[in-house]
Structure 1
Amino acid sequence: MTEQSAPTTAAGGAGTGATARGEQTRRLILDTAMRLFRERGYARTTMRAVAGEAGVSVGNAYYYFASKEHLIQEFYADVQREHRAAAAPVLARERGFAARLSGVLHSGVDVLSPYHSFAGTFFRTAAEPTSPLSPFSAESSAARAASVSLFREVLTGSTARCDDEVREALPELLWLGYLGVVLYWVHDRSPGQARTRQLVDGVVPLVDRLVELSRLRVLRPVTRQALALIHTLRH
């Protein structure tokens, strides 16, 4: 195995080269881990195995990623960046709330699709309430915030008009709904996860209608009661 140079912040050509090599090593370790997770499953993949497959020392692997959990957090960050990039065209093109939400949900499924083969075994770990891999964990806060921010952009860039309290809470509610879509996708064994696509296409018009109805004065007491309950359960 070959030992790769660690990244450095030194200025100049040599420092830049070392930083580039360090980033290449870091990327190699992460890509190798993702491949092994797909081939062997999350539980059966060790840091030693990742290092061996990547051709670096175990110590070097731990230098870049302190644990398997840190690898997954970096994976989360990558997925969020890819999701935002994949959703950008529809967000730039569409102003209707339903079209924007549909585009973001479908692009999320697109980005996750290459990882469907190991999603089930990984989900068993992430679903554990105390796991740092949980989407609700403190360790996942950065990825969670990035995803909520994307759904906030869905709303703020649209022509949707809704109750002010709903507008404030909606980005996080949309994120929670997206987690539901992802959970369905994990268990979806239809070809190409076609049923997940059908779920998105069926749910979006309902959400669009509910957002529109939230402006009705007669529904405001019920809306506020529902929002208060959600807030209590989340916090």
Structure 2
Amino acid sequence: MSPRPAETRQLILDTALRLFEERGYAATTMRAIAAEAGLSPSNAYYWFANKDELVQAFYVRIQTDHAERVAVILAGGLPLTDRLRAVEHAFLDVIGAYHGFGSAFVSIAIAPDSPSSPLSETSAPAREQSLAIYREVVAGAAPRVPEKVRDLLPELLWLCHLGVTLFWVTDRSPGQERTRRLVDATVPLIGPMLRVARLPWGGAVVEQVRTALAVAMEPR
């Protein structure tokens, strides 16, 4: 029996990720991916026009898995730091199997003009999926996050999340346990920031952060 369309698409993506890890992103061609998957090149190109589309499909897969994994966590009104810590550890659980791919791919992803950059326009669908998680982290926190930072905090947390991801890519500790320790060490820092936001003069600091975020999140 012929594989179902969804199975064929997943086969191509899984094969591509393995070859990217084994041979490097630049050295892996769409024809090689098709051959390794036991498909004709035309079949592979039917599902993915190029390697960039494969990368975007991988991003969406990761964000979908992450959202599903944290749904129960985010349904309860835990304190912000507890919610954020759980969300970050869940993400590390999701991406754990892809460490080799991340190491092979990072130089492509961080290139300023790369469509595979997390900040590129091409990456917008996956980026919005991820941002939605951090919006929910903030929106459902108990006690509530101060109103003056409620709208900007998700983007700030997401940018910090990118930093954690980059650290994870370069982490050679067993099971990338150093990254988990980094999460546990940095998440509590959000407490002092929120206390500053509640102070009478905290509004000026918040506006400085807002300006910096606007620059960081400008479309690439």
Give the conservation status (yes or no) of the 8 Å contact 1:47–1:68.
Answer: yes
Q: Which is worse superposed, 169-178 or 33-42?
A: 33-42
Relative contact order, higher structure (CA 8 A, sep 6+)? 2
Q: Which is worse superposed, 143-152 or 24-33?
A: 24-33
> Which structure 2 residues correspond to residues 33-72 of structure 1 after superposition, within 5 A?
33-72=16-55
Structure 2 residue corresponding to 1:92, chosen from 75, 82, 85: 75
| Partner deviation per Cα, 1:142-166 (whole Å, 9 max, x = no partner) | 0000000000010111114344231
Distance in 1, matches of 2:154 and 2:205, equals 19
| Partner deviation per Cα, 1:59-100 (whole Å, 9 max, x = no partner) | 110010000110110000000011111222322345211111
Partner of 2:165: 182
- After TM superposition, which residue ranges in structure 1, 4 or more long, deviate above 3 angstroms? 160-163
Give the conservation status (yes or no) of the 8 Å contact 1:162–1:213.
Answer: no
Partner of 1:165: 148
Following TM superposition, by how much is the alpha carbon of 1:119 offset from its aligned partner in structure 2, in angstroms? 1.2
Identical pairs, percent: 47
Unaligned runs of at least 5 residues, structure 1: 5-19
Q: Normalising by the residue count of structure 1, what TM-score does the alignment of the two structures yield?
A: 0.87
Structure 1 residue corresponding to 2:97, chosen from 107, 114, 138: 114
Partner of 2:109: 126
Q: Normalising by the residue count of structure 2, what TM-score does the alignment of the two structures yield?
A: 0.93
Which secondary structure does the structure 1 equivalent of 2:4 belong to? helix
Partner of 1:80: 63
- Paired letter, 1:35: R
Partner of 1:15: none
- Paired letter, 1:123: V
Unaligned runs of at least 5 residues, structure 2: none
1:220 aligns with 2:207: no
Number of residue pairs aligned between Structure 1 and Structure 2: 218
